[in-house]
Amino acid sequence: MKNNVIEKKASKKSLNKTEKIIMPDSQSKVPFAVVEAYKTTRIHLISALQKINGKVVAVSSSNAAEGKSTTAVNIAIALSQLNKKVIIIDADSRRSTIHKKLKLENELGCLDIISKTATIDQCIKKYNDNLDVITSGTQTANPSESFSTDSFEEMLIDLRNLYDYVIIDTPPINLVSDALVISQKCDGLLLIVRANITTYEAFNHSKTNAEELNINILGVIINGTDSEKTYKYSRYGKYGKYGYSRYGYYRYHSRYYGSNEHRPK
């Protein structure tokens, strides 16, 4: 019982650590291993997309507070650092955070484009020379139905023609249906797992739901890991993953991805 209490306290402490966005003016404040983890994630993500001639990636998690939005932002930034044209879309309309993380306005956005009350040009916000942002925009009572429309597909077609990579932050899979609806229209899905927070049951439920809809799971990112707990969180099915430890950067036994994340103050 005592060990369980200690582990829960450690988990809460890990979850509340300051999360940072990788930016040129704050690069030195982000741990070196975190930056390198995102660069490695970038390499494997690009490779996976090249094999399927894809460019549109949904990012989701099983439940809330597992770090998917910060991970999505940092992946988009890492891709833009290769002088590629990248756009990130906040499709988590129920709990939109991308505009807060990047300190942008959220008057018009994704849902306004879908409802045809605004154009893509009116909603695009420039973050840097290579990275654009479409925030969530005006809230709607039925976002899942909005993402099921032809208007959303038309928006993605237009963005495919304009950008090298399109990253879409979606709601948690196990909480609402939006992520599954959106992911079906993308080239692949990245699932975010948080060590000591995400349970095997929750992960398997979200993975199974995606697989039943023939959604292409590109990989799993495990964040918030400690090196001594590596193998405890390294068996999430057949998908590979990378992880960040405060003691250094290391690779798990399988194929892909990894990062740790930090929320901006």
pLDDT of residue 23: 65
pLDDT of residue 6: 28
In a domain, 192, yes or no: yes
The number of C-alpha atoms within 13 Å of 193 and in the hemisphere containing its C-beta is 32
Bridge partners for 193 per DSSP = 222
pLDDT of residue 223: 86
Q: What is the pLDDT along the chain (265 residues), one digit of tens a residue?
A: 333 332 333 344 444 443 678 766 555 477 888 888 899 999 999 999 999 999 999 999 999 999 999 999 999 999 999 999 999 999 998 889 999 999 999 999 999 999 999 999 999 999 999 999 999 999 888 889 999 999 999 999 999 999 999 999 999 999 999 999 999 999 999 999 998 899 999 999 999 999 999 999 999 998 877 544 444 434 444 444 444 332 222 232 222 222 333 333 3
Instruction: Tell me the one-letter amino acid at 54.
Output: G
- Residues spanned by the domain of 208: 2-259
In a domain, 63, yes or no: yes
Q: What angle do CA 161, 164, 167 make, to 5 degrees?
A: 100
Q: Which distant-in-sequence residues (6+ apart) come within 8 Å of 21 by Cβ? A: 70, 73, 74, 77, 101, 102, 262, 264
pLDDT of residue 84: 97
Q: Where are the alpha helices (DSSP H) in 52-142?
A: 68-80, 98-101, 110-114, 120-123
pLDDT of residue 207: 96
pLDDT of residue 24: 60
pTM, whole model, 2 decimals? 0.80
Instruction: Tell me the one-letter amino acid at 43.
Output: I
Q: How many CB atoms lie within 10 A of CB 153?
A: 13
pLDDT of residue 142: 87
Q: Which distant-in-sequence residues (6+ apart) come within 8 Å of 75 by Cβ? A: 38, 41, 42, 45, 57, 59, 167, 190, 259
In a domain, 265, yes or no: no
Helix (H) or strand (E) holding 154: helix 150-162
In a domain, 264, yes or no: no
pLDDT of residue 226: 57
Give the total number of structural domains in the chain: 1
Q: What is the CATH number of the domain that holds 48?
A: 3.40.50.300
Bridge partners for 242 per DSSP = 258
